[in-house]
Structure 1
Amino acid sequence: MLESCVTYSVLPASDLRRATQWYRDKLGLEPEDTMESGVRYATGTDAKILIYETANAGSAKNTAMCWIVPDIEDAMGSLREKGVVFEDYDFPGLKTENGIATDSSGRSSWFRDSEGNYLCLTELS
């Protein structure tokens, strides 16, 4: 039943106004809809992103959302020009070089939004 349904990501923000500005200025996303529950963004597919205000924002230490990109260096370069900082990791099972980790499925990089949520770019092999 669910295999054919569209999904959407739900991300917390401790300051919805700050998050909305960050997603516009850093990622180039404009809200599709503003509602009482938060701000919703459209992506290049039917998938959506909903950002809502809560005191729990930034408390998760895992990847909250990932974009599949055709060229990770190009995507990272565009985001770096806007001030996005990519994480570097060096521990068993995950080591980045210039912000990129490589494994059999492809290459990935991580950054945090204004609210501390971990976001990811992935270029599939």
Structure 2
Amino acid sequence: MNENTLATAVLAASDLERAKRFWHEVFGLEPIMSDDVGGATYLVGGVPVLVYESEFAGTNKATALGIMTDDLDRDMAELRAKGVEFIDLDLPGLTTTDGVAEVDGERAAWFNDTEGNIISLAQPTSATLAEARERLSAARG
């Protein structure tokens, strides 16, 4: 089955037009395609991300999308300049300082999109981003 599939991340939006503005203004992305019911698909790190309208938007209290970067500090500064606020966490085994946590071989930060979806931004510290891509590519066969 897996050799004939393509995975897509899916994020709900209670206001699709507001969500589209977020993806354009914060990430500088335009949809690579739109569907007949109004969903918009963006390409993030080679992964399609479908944003669609739903009354259940923002109800997931866990990370909905993870993005890996080669420079967390640079990207956090860029996102902050665009109005993104990072979430400070104080959970058992996970505490952030200035929005950043050191977690199992990576530095990570979390923020909400305009629809309440939680997005993580992480930089591997035990490998470079290129090495992480290479491992993923090798795992794909």
Partner of 1:12: 12
Question: Unmatched 5+ residue regions in structure 2?
Answer: 126-141
Question: How many angstroms does 1:26 deviate by?
Answer: 1.4
Q: 4+ residue stretches of structure 1 with deviation over 6 A?
A: none
Query: What is the SS of the residue equivalent to 2:96?
Result: strand
Deviation at 1:5, TM superposition (A): 4.9
Structure (1 or 2) with the greater helix fraction: 2
TM-score (norm 2): 0.82
Unaligned runs of 5+ in 1: none
Which structure's relative contact order is higher, taking Cα pairs within 8 Å and 6+ residues apart?
A: 1
- 1:69-108 to 2 correspondence within 5 Å? 69-108=69-108
Q: Distance in 2 between matches of 1:21 and 1:32?
A: 15
Which aligned pairs between 1:43-82 and structure 2 lie closer than 5 A?
A: 43-45=44-46, 47-82=47-82
Count of residues in Structure 1 that have an aligned counterpart in Structure 2: 124
Aligned mates of 2:85, 2:43 — CA distance in 1: 23
Contact preservation (8 Å) 2:11, 2:64: yes
Q: When the two structures are superposed, what TM-score results if normalisation uses the length of structure 1? A: 0.92
Q: Is the 8 A contact 2:32 2:41 kept in 1?
A: yes
Give the strand-richer structure, 1 or 2.
Answer: 1
DSSP-derived class of the 1:77 partner? helix
Aligned to 2:137: none
